[in-house]
Structure 1
Amino acid sequence: MADDVKSKKDTFRERVAARYPSMDMDNEDEYYGNMGLLLDEFEGYEDNSRKMRESMSKSPVFAEMIVAARGQEDFDPIVWMVQNKGLDLQSLADDPDYAQKLADAHNSYLEKLAKQDEIEKQMAENMPASVQAVRSKAAEMGLSDEQAEEVIGSLYKIMDDLIVGKIDPAYFEMIAKGMNYNSAVETAREEGVAAGLSTKVEDKLRDISGKRERSSGRQSPVQERKPVRKFQNPFVAESYDD
C-alpha cells in the first residue's frame, strides 16, 4: 500500500541512524555535526577520485594497470609490466642512468622510512600528554565526549587538507576570529587596568586637593615652626615635605 512506502526523509534518517547508532537524532547540533563530518569525508573521496582520474588520463599505461589490478589481491605491477608491456628488467639494470635513478629512489625510500620512524616515536611520546590536555580543556569548557571528538576530528581534517595544500576558508575564519577575540580580551583588560589606575589617581589627587583647601580656610596664629613631617607620595618612590 502507498501508506506503507517510506518517505525519502525517513529512509535517509534510518541510514544515518544505522551509521551513527549512538547519535541522538533529535539533537540538531549532534546531527548536523556528524552530517558535516560525513560530507567532509565524501568530499575527500571525491577529490581523491578526481586526482586519480587526472593521473590515469595522463598515463594510459597507468590506467591499464589500475584496471588490471582490480579484484586481484596478489597483483604485482612489475610482473604485469613484463607480461603486458615487455618491460626488460635486465636492460634497465645495465643502463647506468636508469640504475642511478633506481638507487636514488631507494635512498629516498630509506629517508622517508627513517622520518616515519622518528614521527611515530614522537607521536608515542607526545600523544598521552596531548590527550590528557585536551580532555582537561574539554571538561573546562563543558564539552561532552562526543563534542570533543568532533573538534579533534576537525583538527585532523585541517591537518590532512594542509598536507595536500588545501585551506578551508571556514576554518581560516574560525581561527582568525579566535585570534581577534583573544586580542580583544587582552586589549579590554589593559584598557580596564589603565582606566582603573587613572580613576584611582584622580580620586587621590582630588582627596589631597580637598584636604589642602580645607586647611587653607582656617586662620591660625603663627606658631613656632616644628620639625617637618615627611609625607610619602603614593605615586613616586621619594618623599617630599608637606
Structure 2
Amino acid sequence: MSFSAYRAHWSAVLVIGAFTGVLSGCASPAGDDGEGDSSAEEKPVVLTTFTVLQDMAAEVAGDRVDVRSLTPAGAEIHEYQPTPGNLRDAADADLVMENGLGLEAWFAQFVEQSGADSVTVTEGIDTLPVTRLPGHPDADSAEDLPVNPHAWMSPSHAVSYVENIEQALADLSPDDAEYFEENAQDYITEITSIRDAARAELETAGSDVHLVSCEGAFSYLAEDLGVGEHYLWP
C-alpha cells in the first residue's frame, strides 16, 4: 500500500470514528430506572427508537427533556421485537422519535398498539437507494430499489436530523424553543466542523479514495465526503 493510499484509508477511518463519537453518548435506554433525580419526572419524556437518535435528541434537549432509547445499545434495530415494557413506556411518553425510511420495520404497529404520538426525524432528506451485491442484477432505476435508511451517517444529513429534532421539541415544549435552538446550533457547528475537516484532509489524499466496510451502511457518508464505497453486503 502506498503512503497516499495508507493516508486515505486512515482519513476515512478517523472521520468515521470522530463523527460516531459526536453521535454517541452514555444515556440509559428506556426502562433503566437508574438512580436519576426526582425532577426528571416533571420533564417531558421523549423516547427514540435507538441510541443514536437518543444521543442526538439529548444534545438538543439538554436538561429540559428526559430523552430515552427504547432499544439498548447494540440492538438489532431493523427487526427489533418491542417488549410489553416498551409499549408501556411509549404509552406514558410525550413523544416517540423514529428514523423512518424503513429502518424500524416494527414501528407502525408499535405506535398503533401504544397510542403514542410520534415524529419522523428524516423528513426532507434526499435518500439513496440500497444497491445490490456485485454480480446481481440491479433494478432498472433507483426508484425500484429499497431506500437506504442510514442517513445519519452523513454529517450533512445529520444536520437535518438535528433541525427536525429541534422543531419536534419546540412543538412539544414551546416555552423552551429558544433553548432548544441554541443547543441545536451549537451541535450543528460541531458536526459541520468535523465534516469540513474531513473533507479538507481527504482532498490531500487525492481523488482515488474508497471507503470499504462489511455492510453498505456508509453510503451517505461516502457521498458526503466524495469518496468511493465498497461493501460485502447491502
Q: Which has the higher strand share?
A: 2
What TM bracket, shorter-length normalisation? under 0.3
- Give the alignment's TM-score, normalised by structure 1: 0.26
Structure with max Cα Rg: 1
- Give the alignment's TM-score, normalised by structure 2: 0.26
Structure with bigger RCO (C-alpha 8 Å, 6+ apart): 2
